[in-house]
């Protein structure tokens, strides 16, 4: 069923949990992510990367995801991720996305707020609007090892949110896109400072692939209601392809078996991700 992203994220924080937002490049993966979320009885956010949304086929892809979400027995939100192109944002909303990340993070805070305001004019009041403040290193579509960039300045939060009217705020707190160089070190004291300044605006954590189970379980209780995953799932899929493609090729080039195995590894990843984002106490009960 269709979902308002701000509403489901706010509700998740109330329950001290976070909702996974998973990058989707193909429909097989999308169906499997939704199926696992239905089995878990949990809400899910499908992230559409800008490169996957471009052109006629990109709009067809979004419309297909819209139908998938509408027919789901659980809440599904479709978000255009890391968007900088106003025309692409307009077309994606028309095609059926429920939310947009207006990515002005490469701009100054004031210019960033102005860009987010322009996006709001395009998408209207009913589409959830996420903004990003701070420099999250790396390319979300390419898995490279990155070090954390410039962190979000908590002193900019209040003025930025007042000016931009963003519904959710993606923060830079030691997280990166892609893979981490060394062990990830999230800045939890900074997260708490941002939480105080952001007040009722939920935080979003990008670059969750590689974070510890303890960090993920802690997110919802710290005011982070949405956590983005991309690299970790791509790694899972490519591992399956490398290990199983020859066998399926030898089996008469069995596409149904190949896609079935692909879907199974995606469902397992999604189910585990829902568990990892549950509060630590709930995770302990589930494993006990």
Q: Which residues are catalytic?
A: 81
Domains of the chain listed by start with CATH number: 5-287 (3.20.20.70)
Rounded CA separation 229/68 (Å): 20
Q: What is the DSSP letter of 179?
A: E
Beta-carbon contacts of residue 4 (< 8 Å; ≥ 6 apart): 77, 98, 126, 128
Instruction: Tell me if 166 sits within 8 A of 132, measured CB to CB.
Output: no
Choose among 111, 195, 138, 129: nearest CA to 165: 129
**Hey, CA dihedral for 278, 282, 284, 288, is it positive or negative?**
negative
pLDDT value of position 137: 54
Rounded to the nearest angstrom, the gap between the alpha carbon of residue 179 and the centroid of all alpha carbons in its chain is 16
Instruction: Tell me if 159 sits within 8 A of 109, measured CB to CB.
Output: yes
pLDDT value of position 284: 45
CA distances from 203 to 6, 67, 85, 236, 259 (A): 11, 28, 23, 27, 35
Beta-carbon contacts of residue 236 (< 8 Å; ≥ 6 apart): 265, 266, 269
Three-class secondary structure of residue 22 per DSSP: strand
pLDDT value of position 89: 98
pLDDT value of position 285: 47
Considering only CA atoms, give the Rg of the chain: 18
- Model-level pTM? 0.90
In the block, tokens 């993606």 appear at 170
Rounded to the nearest angstrom, the gap between the alpha carbon of residue 72 and the centroid of all alpha carbons in its chain is 19
In the block, tokens 């419309």 appear at 63
The alpha-helical segments, DSSP class H, found in the chain are 5-14, 27-40, 50-53, 55-71, 86-95, 109-123, 157-164, 188-198, 213-219, 231-250, 255-276, 280-287
CB atoms within 10 A of CB 63: 13
Query: What's the average pLDDT block by block, 10 residues per block, for the chain (288 residues)?
Result: 96 96 97 98 97 96 98 98 97 98 94 97 97 71 53 93 96 72 80 95 88 90 95 90 78 82 95 90 50
pLDDT value of position 287: 45
pLDDT value of position 21: 97
């Amino acid at each position: 069923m269709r979902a308002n992203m701000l509403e489901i994220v706010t509700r998740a924080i109330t329950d001290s949990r976070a909702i996974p937002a998973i990058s989707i490049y193909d429909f097989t993966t999308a169906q499997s992510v939704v199926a696992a979320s239905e089995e878990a009885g949990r809400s899910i956010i499908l992230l559409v990367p800008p490169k996957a949304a471009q052109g006629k086929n990109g709009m067809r892809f979004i419309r297909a995801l819209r139908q998938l979400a509408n027919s789901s027995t659980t809440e599904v939100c479709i978000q255009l991720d890391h968007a900088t192109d106003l025309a692409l944002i307009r077309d994606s909303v028309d095609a059926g996305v429920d939310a947009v990340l207006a990515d002005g993070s490469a701009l100054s805070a004031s210019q960033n707020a102005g860009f987010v305001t322009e996006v709001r004019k395009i998408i209207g009041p009913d589409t959830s609007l996420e903004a990003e403040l701070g420099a999250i290193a790396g390319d979300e579509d390419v898995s490279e090892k990155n070090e954390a960039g410039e962190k979000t300045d908590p002193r900019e939060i209040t003025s930025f949110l007042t000016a931009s009217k963003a519904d959710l705020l993606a923060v830079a707190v030691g997280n990166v896109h892609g893979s981490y160089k060394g062990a990830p070190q999230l800045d939890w004291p900074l997260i708490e400072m941002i939480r105080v300044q952001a007040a009722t605006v939920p935080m979003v954590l990008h670059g969750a692939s590689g974070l510890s189970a303890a960090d993920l379980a802690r997110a919802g209780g710290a005011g982070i209601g949405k956590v983005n995953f991309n690299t970790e799932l791509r790694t899972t899929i490519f591992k399956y392809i490398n290990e199983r493609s020859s066998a399926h090729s030898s089996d008469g080039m069995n596409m149904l078996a190949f896609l079935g195995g692909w879907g199974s590894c995606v469902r397992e990843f999604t189910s585990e991700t829902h568990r990892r984002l549950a509060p630590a106490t709930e995770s302990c009960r589930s494993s006990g």
